[in-house]
Amino acid sequence: MREATFAGAEWLCVLIVIVASVSLGWTPEQEPVEEPEVVSLEGTVTLATRDAMDALGLQEFQPGAVAAIDLTRDSVAAPPCEGCEHALTGIMVQGSVLLTGLVDETGRLGRIEANLNLTHLMERGPDGFVHREWLLLDWDAGDRSSTVEVLLVHDPPRWLPGEDRSDATLLTTEEGQISRSGPEVLLRSSESGDDVLLACLPDHFLCRATSPDAILTARRGPARDSLTVEAPPAWVQVPLMQGNLSDGGGWAASLLEAGEEVPNNRTWCPSSGSTLTGETREVITPPPSLAPLATWFIALGETHLLLAPDGVHWTEAEDGDVRCAALTDASGTLRLGISEYAA
């Protein structure tokens, strides 16, 4: 059994930060207008904190590595998933990520070349309510590769109004639009119509927009038709056999605070047909909200990913090359699912 590589909330935070400027999410439908859309993102993100480094599996390196990104963005659409009432819409971001300035404990320098493919989908009804969200990640970096799916079930559904609420979050100054709270974000528009985002990571408290962690340019072009993609597989209940995880600890420590183990013989996973081995624990503190990152999205007029699920039991189990984690409510209904496969 391989060692699990998913790093919980920090994994999600860093990846969402990297692609925030190319609309990880989408803008609710409005009257058609001839306005350019974000088509690519390029720039650098300095991983200035320990959490940011650990999130990309770089525990043996010192903080301060630089991720140079060159990503393209496309709108995507998918047919309704199994159990869904509405078609899915979202975006796909893909391209290269070059990590440089990697310094290990002996002082040796290194670099990592990776390819990122990230798709964010929503099931949103005509009434403006979002019932489910998916984050599909393929991080191709050799022996540090990982394929992860995150499913969020909103109950009650998430309300996405069409009106722009950015005025309450961003303050217009002579330098550009700057965030009122949270990590500092400064948005500047160029004469070409592109946007330049100067931003700080949420956990870097000494960072300022005048000397940011990230300098990203979101390039705009004519609106294009959406690409058609497959709907994610359905999550189903599978048998659970109590047992220890192969890496001893699992993801819980990096994603939430879990308590005592509780009896359980069922869990959730998109892979059916086999019994998984793992454990279920009481949830003391649920997964953190990604609200601090909302400013990155609002700065460019986009809808941010909402990760604020609530549940009472956390189950983590594995079988062969798949590991599944499920946050469930008191009735056993799935609220958050995370699966990881060997790349």
Average pLDDT, the chain: 77
Q: What is the 3-state secondary structure (H, E, C) of the chain?
A: CCCCCCCHHHHHHHHHHHHHHHCCCCCCCCCCCCCCEEEEEEEEEEECCHHHHHHCCCCCECCCEEEEEEEEEEEEEECCCCCCCCCEEEEEEEEEEEEEEEEECCCCEEEEEEEEEEEEEEEECCCCEEEEEEEEEEEECHHHCEEEEEEEEEEEEEECCCCCCHHHCEEECCCCEEECCCCCEEEEECCCCCEEEEECCCCCCCCECCECCEEEEEEEECCCCCEECCCCCCCEEEEEEECCCCCCCCCHHHHCEEEEEECCCEEEECCCCCCEEEEEEEEEECCCCCHHHHHHHHCCCCCCCCCCCCCCEEEEEEECCEEEEEEECCCCCEEEEEEEECC
Q: How confident is the model at residue 333 (pLDDT cuts 50, 70, 90)?
A: very high
Q: Domains of the chain: which residue ranges?
A: 8-228
- In the prediction, which pLDDT does 23 show? 40
123-155 pLDDT tens trace: 999 888 999 999 888 888 777 777 889 899 998
Q: How confident is the model at residue 264 (pLDDT cuts 50, 70, 90)?
A: very high
Phi-psi region of 298 (alpha: psi -120 to 50; beta: other; left: phi over 0): alpha
Q: What is the pTM of this model?
A: 0.81
